[in-house]
Structure 1
Amino acid sequence: MDIRDMKVFSAIAEEGNISNAAKRLNIAQPALSRQMKQLEEELGVQLFERGSRRIRLTEAGQLFRERAAQILALADATANEMSDFHSGLGGVISLGAVTTSGVALLPNLISRFYQLYPNVTFQLWEGDGFRVLELLNTGIIEVGIIRAPFDSELYESILLPPEPLAVAMKKNACYCGKREDSVKLSELAEQPLIIPLRWKEMFLDWCAKAGFTPKIICVSDSITLNILWTKQGLGMALVPKSTEDLFSDPSLRYKIIAEPSLATQTAIVWLRNRRLSASSRHFLDLLQKDIFQ
């Protein structure tokens, strides 16, 4: 098994059809079929369920597709690092980001960086904080954009200013708090709540100090899904205040949590003792200038 096998397999998985993949790769269809058969024999598993028109991945095939994507991304990143070892004037910067932080931070930053380094391109992976750290740990990405907390012994970081936490609620369905724009933590005591997984323990601790046990109906690290569930009236979602800019909706109201005031921080992280590419170092330098100027 080699990189070429993985590229061929990935093309077939994307096309869902041997014939289309053969045209895309400019390889004869019988040769392509033999190559995949040999790969299955070498791995000792069946990767495809072959049908009359389309092929489907088996469970083993789905796992191999995920691993192949990671390995191919790592191979590309390594090649780019070698070709751009010193200058940082070209190559690819591989980033991972959680939805809210990535959308709020990256568009303007990448636009400005691209003006300075037009030959640098970006590869962006999106997921929850745990997924981003996994990609960072395996070397698929160089820089991650996540929400605190994280292990500061494993990662170096740049912390953005604190951002208030808020509760997203559907108007006239799941409404609480006497004030228009804020809510006391204690006012959430009997409300159905949707909590991000990485904040669960902290939130439970905050509520315990306020003298109550929260009614958590769902724990999820997908801000998008949490807001969609809120729109359905299933509960209230604990979110960063900037979520209101990303998911503005007339049916929703966002109230910051006050008394006590709760906050979160966006963190730009990278592995300690790992050499960053010159392009990534330039990217972090620009980010620091934006934050501290």
Structure 2
Amino acid sequence: MDFYQMKCVLTVAKHHSVSKAAEELCVTPPSLSQQIKKAEDELGVKLFVRSTHDIWPSEAGNEFIKRAQKIFAELSKMNDIMNNYASGTIGHLVIGCVPVMKESGLLHFIKLFTERYPHISLEFYEAECFDLYPLLYSGKIDVLISTAADPEKPKKIKLKSYPLAEDELVLVTSKKHRFANRGIIKLKETAKEPFISFSPSSSLFRVTVDACRRSGFMPVSSCRTHNFDTALGLVAANGGVAIVPLKKVTHTKWKNISIHRLSPKISRTLYLVFLRSGIAKINPIVENFEQFMAQCHLNLHFDEYN
């Protein structure tokens, strides 16, 4: 027996009338009667007892109706759940992010998103900027919070980026350093300073190198680390200088570190990055996340790059 025949039986039982049931189902009474007969022939029992004016379920019909109603209720529940998945209100979202979530203020918006979509679970994959892009291309992460565009992006990949926040980069030195009591430092003055540098896969490394090049020199690394606290510890010990985000260094309290603004000013933008429409079917949860973040930042606009 198919679901349509089951629906026919339930509709006739609801109205106690073939003609009224046929009107609801938008079929002719003879066609509906034929479906009821097919169901009865297949089951080998009479589902209805007919009188001159009405039609009533038989004992077997009552049992059938009780179980069919449970099936349709479960089917309706299943459809609702599937609709939730299709509309992106239930499921799982993997966010790849550079380690700036706390100081950027984005955690507040993430919290608001989880309140609006309580049935979406979030997973964060934290790594350096250029280590995350391949994970986005392969689908291992759904969205990316990044501080730079990927210079090695395959041509076939199309991305949509959305600016979220901007941070100024500053020079940090030991309080024993010759710059310690100065507020603003010209970047070219640091040409002979030993730099504490970060991973080449981080945007901070590339921003630092590019800024120094524009000021006429290449920074010389005395030490390289993947860890921000390690870098600040080396700076505090007067092992070198470093260029770091202002928001991040002010969230970390170090007694022996001086913070200096740079001239010319160096800034870094934090982006939300998605695979652009047309490459594959867009995950509806990603669409909801994109729209939510757009509502939080209505004064900014998406940038698309090939």
TM-score above 0.5, yes or no:
yes
Give the paired residue count: 209
Secondary structure of the equivalent of 1:162? strand
**RMSD of the alignment, in Å?**
2.6
- Code of the residue aligned with 1:96 in structure 2: it is G
Secondary structure of the equivalent of 1:265? strand
**Alpha-carbon distance, 1:108 to partner:** 0.5
**Alpha-carbon distance, 1:276 to partner:** 3.4
Task: Indicate the residue corresponding to 1:211 in structure 2.
Answer: 216
Task: Indicate the residue corresponding to 2:93 in structure 1.
Answer: 93
User: Contact between 2:147 and 2:270, CA under 8 Å: does it hold in 1?
Assistant: yes
Runs of 4+ in 1 over 6 A off after TM superposition: none
Residues 126-183 of structure 1 deviation map (CA, whole Å, 9 limit, x = unaligned): 11112222321221110111111424764221123432111222222x3527632x32
**2:191 maps to which of 189, 192, 216:** 189
CA distance in 2, matches of 1:281, 1:125: 19
User: Contact between 1:113 and 1:286, CA under 8 Å: does it hold in 2?
Assistant: yes
User: Contact between 2:130 and 2:150, CA under 8 Å: does it hold in 1?
Assistant: no
Task: Indicate the residue corresponding to 1:112 in structure 2.
Answer: 112
CA distance in 2, matches of 1:234, 1:276: 48
Residues 195-242 of structure 1 deviation map (CA, whole Å, 9 limit, x = unaligned): 332454554443343233332223445434323332333222221221
Task: Indicate the residue corresponding to 2:145 in structure 1.
Answer: 145
Task: Indicate the residue corresponding to 2:174 in structure 1.
Answer: 170
- Code of the residue aligned with 1:156 in structure 2: it is K
Task: Indicate the residue corresponding to 2:123 in structure 1.
Answer: 123
- Code of the residue aligned with 1:132 in structure 2: it is L
- Code of the residue aligned with 2:87 in structure 1: it is S
- Code of the residue aligned with 2:118 in structure 1: it is P
User: Contact between 1:99 and 1:223, CA under 8 Å: does it hold in 2?
Assistant: no
- Code of the residue aligned with 2:294 in structure 1: it is Q
Between structure 1 and structure 2, the one with the greater Rg is 2
In the TM superposition, 1:187-266 aligns within 5 A as 187-196=189-198, 197=200, 198-200=203-205, 202-258=207-263, 260-266=264-270
CA distance in 2, matches of 1:93, 1:128: 19
User: Contact between 1:143 and 1:268, CA under 8 Å: does it hold in 2?
Assistant: yes
Relative to the length of structure 1, the TM-score reads 0.62
User: Contact between 1:195 and 1:237, CA under 8 Å: does it hold in 2?
Assistant: yes
CA distance in 2, matches of 1:184, 1:236: 14
**Alpha-carbon distance, 1:107 to partner:** 1.5
Whether 1:269 aligns to 2:269 is no
Task: Indicate the residue corresponding to 2:30 in structure 1.
Answer: none
**1:160 maps to which of 146, 164, 173:** 164
Secondary structure of the equivalent of 2:239? coil
**Alpha-carbon distance, 1:123 to partner:** 0.6
**1:279 maps to which of 262, 276, 285:** 285
Task: Indicate the residue corresponding to 2:5 in structure 1.
Answer: none
User: Contact between 1:169 and 1:230, CA under 8 Å: does it hold in 2?
Assistant: yes
Matched residues, percent identical? 22
User: Contact between 1:189 and 1:212, CA under 8 Å: does it hold in 2?
Assistant: yes
Q: 1:125 to 1:170 in 2, by over 3 A?
A: same
Alignment gaps of 5+ in structure 1: 1-81
Alignment gaps of 5+ in structure 2: 1-81, 300-306
User: Contact between 1:147 and 1:266, CA under 8 Å: does it hold in 2?
Assistant: yes
**Alpha-carbon distance, 1:255 to partner:** 1.8
User: Contact between 1:171 and 1:253, CA under 8 Å: does it hold in 2?
Assistant: yes
Task: Indicate the residue corresponding to 1:179 in structure 2.
Answer: 182
Residues 82-138 of structure 1 deviation map (CA, whole Å, 9 limit, x = unaligned): 885422211111001111246524320111111111111111111111222232122
Relative to the length of structure 2, the TM-score reads 0.60
CA distance in 2, matches of 1:168, 1:187: 13
Task: Indicate the residue corresponding to 2:57 in structure 1.
Answer: none
Task: Indicate the residue corresponding to 1:67 in structure 2.
Answer: none
CA distance in 1, matches of 2:245, 2:251: 11
Secondary structure of the equivalent of 2:100? helix
Q: 1:292 to 1:217 in 2, by over 3 A?
A: farther
